[in-house]
A and B are shown apart, each in its own frame.
Chain A
Amino acid sequence: MFGKKRVAVIGAGMTLFRRTLKETGKELAWEASKMALDQAGLELKDIDSVVMGTAPDAFDGVHMKGEYLADGSGAYRKPYSRVFVGGGTGVFAVDAGWWHIASGQFDTCLVVAEEKMSSCYPHPAYAFTTIFDPIYARPLGVTLIWIFALEMHRYMHVHGIKKEEIALVSVKNKGNALDHPCAQLAAKITVEDVLNSEVLCYPVQRLDISPTSDGAAALVLASEDVAKKVTDNPVWIDGVGWSIDSTYWTNRDLYYPRYVQSAAQMAYKMAGIKNPPKEIDVAEVYDPFDYKELHHMEGLMLARKGQAPKLTADGVTQRDGDLPINPSGGLLGVGNPIAAAGTMKCCEIFWQLRGEAGKRQVKGDPRTGLAQAWGDLMQYGSVVIMRS
Chain B
Amino acid sequence: MATEKILDVRRMTHWPGHMEADYIYTLGIAGERFFREIKENGRISGAKCKQCGQIFVPARLYCEKCFDKLTEWVDIGTKGRVYTFTVAYVDIKGEKLEEPIIYALIKFDGTVGGLVHKLGEVALCDLRVGLPVEAVFKPQPDRTANINDIKYFKPAK
Q: A-side interface residues toward B, CB under 8 Å?
A: 18-20, 22, 58, 61, 63, 118-119, 121-123, 125-126, 129, 134-137, 139-143, 145-146, 149-151, 153-154, 157, 174, 184-187, 189, 193, 198-204, 207, 211, 246-248, 250-251, 254
Contacts and interface: CB of A to CB of B under 8 A. Distances in A.
A211 B7 contact: no
Contact of A143 (B2, B92, B104): B92
B18 to A, nearest CB: 8
Interface in B83-103: 83-94, 101, 103
A338 B117 CA distance: 28
Contact of B7 (A20, A142, A145): A20
B27 interface: yes
B84 A254 contact: yes
Given A250-B114, A250-B116, A153 B85 contact: yes
A137 B92 contact: no
B86 A119 contact: no
A303 B9 CA distance: 41
Nearest to A57: B19
Given A143-B91, A154-B84, A135 B147 contact: yes
B48 interface: no
Q: Which of B16, B64, B90, B101 has the most CB of A within 10 A?
A: B90
A358 B33 CA distance: 61
A14 B146 CA distance: 46
A201 B88 contact: yes
Contact of B103 (A140, A151, A204): A140
A187 B1 contact: yes
Contacts of A137: 116, 147
B25 interface: yes
Contact of B17 (A61, A174, A211, A250): A61
Contacts of A200: 88-90
A61 B19 contact: yes
Interface of B: 1-2, 4-10, 12, 16-17, 19, 23, 25, 27-28, 31, 56-58, 64, 83-94, 101, 103-105, 107, 112-118, 129, 146-148
5 contacts: A19-B5, A118-B9, A123-B93, A126-B92, A154-B105
B5 to A, nearest CB: 7
A58 to B, nearest CB: 7
Nearest to B148: A139
Contacts of A247: 64
Contact of B9 (A20, A189, A246, A254): A20
A202 B19 CA distance: 32
Contact of A174 (B2, B64, B103): B2
List the 5 shortest-distance A-B pairs measured between CB atoms, nearest first: A187-B2, A149-B86, A154-B84, A202-B87, A20-B7
A63 B21 CA distance: 11
Nearest to A171: B2
Contact of A142 (B5, B31, B89, B116): B116
A157 B84 contact: yes
A157 B130 CA distance: 10
A246 B12 contact: no
B23 A134 contact: yes
Nearest to A18: B7
B105 A250 contact: yes
A295 to B, nearest CB: 13
Contacts of B17: 61, 119
Nearest to B11: A20
A22 B6 CA distance: 14
B60 to A, nearest CB: 9
A336 to B, nearest CB: 11
A63 B84 CA distance: 36
Contacts of B114: 250
B2 A153 contact: no
A201 B129 contact: no
A250 B4 contact: no
B92 A129 contact: yes
Contacts of A118: 9
B9 A135 contact: no
A9 to B, nearest CB: 31
A233 B115 CA distance: 53
B8 A150 contact: no
Contacts of A22: 12
Given A140-B117, A145-B90, A20 B12 contact: yes
Nearest to B1: A193
